Amino acid sequence: MNVTIRKIGNSEGIIIPKEVLDRLGLKAGDALELSTNGGGLHLQPLEEDFSRQLEHAQRFMDKYKVALKKLAE
């Protein structure tokens, strides 16, 4: 399946065909993780639970930064 990079405001993007979104159970507003592998791009749905866990971990690390640094010595 071919798609074209298009100008969208001040950015650029691609339009994901509706049949692909339907097949993957995705809709407007869903978050995707973008990564590169080799010479290509890889998109996959972002797991909301994992994202929420990362946010909690970041807050924990910020709150206990000094204690964690001492433990790492």
Map out the domains of the chain as residue ranges. 6-72
Is this structure's pTM higher than 0.85?
no
* Tens place of pLDDT per residue across the chain (73 aa): 899 999 999 999 999 999 999 988 888 888 888 999 889 999 888 877 676 777 888 899 999 999 999 999 8
Residues 6 and 49: their CA atoms lie apart, in Å, by 32
8, 16 contact by CB (below 8 A): no
CATH code 3.30.450.20 for 6-72: no
pLDDT number for residue 47 = 74
